[in-house]
Structure 1
């Protein structure tokens, strides 16, 4: 199994699939916001930033997948983004399942002054909803609970790929005289 993940990580296809899946989730979030008119909260916006980190990791890994330094940088970026996204999603679920005046998120995104994503891209990163509100559910689970599943999957996948980097990779060759 680790050989499969190692082989996947040294080719462009796996990295592009990672980037495509994160892009598809970002576009889905934009559809929910602008197509279905569901207002994103601060935690939703932060989770989008974590997904953008995974998207960036997929693009970095797709540039030079055979070079171990780029591959490890992409894995670190993706793994840090997925773990941070998982913690954000778990906190978001906590806001929804235990609402109260002492357990609320901010209504204003707190990005660094050097990277004000809510000012640069308000169409994507401007929060306007409440974290404790459950506006959408599928199969009995809220959107935040599904995002926990998504980030847990990304964390597990990228963790396995990181572990597989310590396995020696043998290129596939056919030896006709063996």
Structure 2
């Protein structure tokens, strides 16, 4: 028997929470400092998780389920796009890697919002470093895989009926 909509949204929320906890473990225990694109991917994982949590708490059905799942899919697609860009930067030849830019905090304090966001999505030289991998895939590649899974699951949620 399939889990109901509410249970599946809680599973999505738990998955997103696990991804963030893994990221925090890698940052604070393993000493892997996130680049701007890593931070952006975290924001979209959190967004999908929060949308799923609200949908579960609301016990969405019918049209509201379609809205929640649609919002989660959109956040997942944007996150997957950021992850794909990050993987692309990691696979550029060394002479084509973007120069290292200012830190994330400096960008948002100094530049107008849209200029800071444009710089953020460009990535920089720090984003090209592969500091950890598992089964031949880097952290952004695994994050891309996770986003694809979240997109599939949220799409399925949107097509289900209570």
**Paired residue for 1:21?**
15
Shift of 1:154: 1.1
CA contact (8 A) 1:50 1:84 kept: yes
Q: 1:19 to 1:34 in 2, by over 3 A?
A: same
Match of 1:132 in 2: 128
TM superposition score normalised by structure 1 = 0.72
Structure 1: segments with no counterpart, 5+ residues: 114-128, 170-178
Mapped to 2, the partners of 1:74 and 1:87 lie a distance apart of 20
Report the CA distance shift for 1:134/1:59 in structure 2 as closer, same or farther (over 3 A): same
Aligned to 2:70: 76
1:145 matches 2:137 = no
**Higher alpha-carbon Rg:** 1
Alignment coverage as a number of residue pairs: 149
Q: Deviations over 1:128-156 (max 9, x none)?
A: x9100011011111111111111111112
The structure-2 alpha-carbon separation of the partners of 1:106 and 1:77, relative to structure 1 and needing over 3 Å to count, comes to farther
- Shifted more, 53-62 versus 97-106: the winner is 97-106
More helix per residue: 2
Partner of 2:32: 38
Is the contact between residue 70 and residue 155 of structure 2 (CA under 8 Å) also seen in structure 1?
Answer: no
Give 5+ residue unaligned stretches, structure 2: 114-124
State whether residues 42 and 106 of structure 1, in contact with CA within 8 Å, keep that contact through their aligned partners in structure 2: no
TM-score with structure 2 setting the length: 0.78
How far apart, CA to CA, are the structure 2 residues paired with 1:140 and 1:130? 20
